[in-house]
Amino acid sequence: MQDRGDFSLTGLRELHQLSLLPGGDFNALYAAYLEVGRSLLGLSIGIVSRIKDGDYEVLAVQPVDDGISVGDHFPLGDTYCSTVISKQGSVALHHVGELEEMRSHPVYVGMQLESYMAVPLYVQGEIFGTLNFSDPVPRREPFSIEEMEFLELMGRSLSQALEQEKLDQQRQFAVNKMEENMALFEGAFRHAAIGMAIVSPEGGWMRVNPALCNILGYDEQALLASDFQTITHPDDLEKDLNQVQALLAGKRNSYWMKKRYFHQDGHIVWVLLAVSIVRNADGTPRYFLSQIEDVSAQVTAERVLRQKQDELEQLNQELADMARTDPLTGLNNRLVLMESLRQEYRRCERRGEPISVIFMDVDHFKQYNDSYGHMEGDVALQAVAAALRQVIRDTDVLARYGGEEFVALLPSANAQAAENVAERCRQAVAGIASLSQPVSLSVGVATLMSCDGTDAVSKPEALLSAADQALYAAKEAGRNRVRTTLL
């Protein structure tokens, strides 16, 4: 059990290091992900694939001399990854040869790959490819929840890097387009590609070029008969006039601002307005020279980019939450439990307060799964979690420890209080009426009365182990009961 906790912590550290790698060089990025995955998962072959229109392309592979090379293409149906695409989710096979339907698979026939794990890579909501690891040696036991969660987090992290690269390309495309437009807008007044105008000190249009007429939708005569105030959006007019007054007063010689004009047909045009003042020999204002660039597309692109950035931040937050939450029940996961246990143990050492741990196991859960299927088993675990939430206080820590095991950490609770909570948990689960058949809990309670340095318990993990032993005592006594031990 402790090894799994160590794996989770090591995996999180490695994911953190991977998240710090610079983008751009995807060959190096792929190599780093494959090296970490092969090392921690204990599988010899790692591949990053690109899947499009039924074609499976190898983008990166380790080791490089294992018969598969970068740039190789295969029909998707001839790869294990076809299962990932059809499922649109993670796949883990610890002994392919035991699966009758897989023995004739082209990969198994050709390469005898016995163990396989893979997750899809998503970019902007679409499957980009897969991150997968395999080995010709079968695993002695199925892949653990921690290994699956680690690979899924790796896939989410690599997907974010791929998506960020795509967003950067889109942003660069928008920037390049804007720079191209700016280059085209240079030139003489009449033939400039950007809008240009000479404006009187009172705000009337004195001269306008064809580009400006096109931007605003007016013909030249109609525009000259008006002034800039008339077609400026009212929310921008005061700011614009304040800038004009600063020019007229000699406080500055130019300004620029992003503002909105009303197009002749009524829709809004976003422009980047740059204005400089031309003065007479005596210093009095002669006219304003205005350069007006239509940036409606850029504003739209900036809004889309901000939206994508918000989505990325949300994904990062979901990734952080996923690392601490059991995906099936929504309870805390084992990592959170162990952190809380160590924290409460230290507080117990400082204050001399008791700590109690309740270790719970759903009785005969394998039989339940065998009878009703794993989907119904998942529903049962979710119902058990919901029932336990109703009993456990907000100040306590309730976690799914693994499989059908649940653990509650009760800070400052003595043995009697913990035993009362444990009994209420047992009764709450026994009272679930929505399942295919009733389920029950065997419960073990362990209470550490004081962490004063004289106890036999020198590590917080020992308290969890004692509760586990009490749980087994409850099972041996006939199940569906509570057993308590004091330390």
pLDDT of 304 higher than 80: yes
- Average pLDDT score over residue span 415-434: 95
Two structure tokens written together for 121: 């890579």
| Co-location of 407 and 281 in the same domain | no
Two structure tokens written together for 173: 């495309």
Question: How confident is the model over 84-120, as pLDDT tens digits?
Answer: 999 999 999 999 989 988 888 999 998 899 999 999 9
The total of structural domains in the chain comes to: 3
Evaluate whether residue 188 is within a structural domain: no
Evaluate whether residue 172 is within a structural domain: no
* Contact by Cβ (8 Å): 289, 205: no
pLDDT of 183 higher than 80: no
| Domain of residue 86, CATH code | 3.30.450.40
When pLDDT is cut at 50, 70 and 90, the band that residue 38 belongs to is very high
CA 274, CA 290: separation in Å to the nearest integer?
A: 6
The mean pLDDT value of the chain amounts to 89
| Co-location of 339 and 292 in the same domain | no
Evaluate whether residue 417 is within a structural domain: yes
Evaluate whether residue 465 is within a structural domain: yes
- The DSSP bridge partners found for residue 94 are none
Evaluate whether residue 328 is within a structural domain: no
pLDDT of 298 higher than 60: yes
CA 389, CA 45: separation in Å to the nearest integer?
A: 42
| Co-location of 141 and 208 in the same domain | no
Whole-number pLDDT of residue 137: 95
Rounded to the nearest 5°, which phi and psi values hold at 409? -105, 125
Look at 220 and 451; give whichever has higher pLDDT: 220
| Co-location of 371 and 260 in the same domain | no
| Co-location of 366 and 277 in the same domain | no
CA 6, CA 178: separation in Å to the nearest integer?
A: 51
pLDDT of 189 higher than 90: no
Evaluate whether residue 180 is within a structural domain: no
Question: How confident is the model over 228-264, as pLDDT tens digits?
Answer: 999 999 999 999 999 999 999 999 999 999 999 999 9
Q: Among residues 299, 325, 346, which one ends one of the domains?
A: 299
| Co-location of 273 and 398 in the same domain | no
When pLDDT is cut at 50, 70 and 90, the band that residue 377 belongs to is very high
| Co-location of 41 and 97 in the same domain | yes
The residue range of the domain holding 103 is 2-157
| Co-location of 14 and 92 in the same domain | yes
pLDDT of 188 higher than 70: no
pLDDT of 453 higher than 60: no
Q: What is the largest CA-CA distance in the chain?
A: 106
Evaluate whether residue 407 is within a structural domain: yes
Residues across the chain? 487
| Co-location of 55 and 149 in the same domain | yes
DSSP for 355-386, please give it: EEEEEEEETTHHHHHHHH-HHHHHHHHHHHHH
Least confident of 119-123, 212-216, 308-312: 308-312
Two structure tokens written together for 81: 């990854």
Residue 319 C-alpha from the chain's centroid: 4
| Co-location of 221 and 361 in the same domain | no
pTM: 0.41
Two structure tokens written together for 93: 């096979």
- The CA-CA-CA angle for residues 354, 442, 462, to 5°, reads 40
Q: Among residues 275, 299, 323, which one ends one of the domains?
A: 299
| Co-location of 8 and 122 in the same domain | yes
412: left (phi over 0), alpha (psi -120 to 50) or beta: left
Question: How confident is the model over 118-150, as pLDDT tens digits?
Answer: 999 999 899 999 999 999 999 989 999 999 998
* Contact by Cβ (8 Å): 148, 8: no
Question: How confident is the model over 319-335, as pLDDT tens digits?
Answer: 777 788 999 999 999 99
Q: Among residues 104, 138, 157, which one ends one of the domains?
A: 157
283: left (phi over 0), alpha (psi -120 to 50) or beta: left
| Domain of residue 440, CATH code | 3.30.70.270
| Co-location of 353 and 422 in the same domain | yes
Evaluate whether residue 285 is within a structural domain: yes
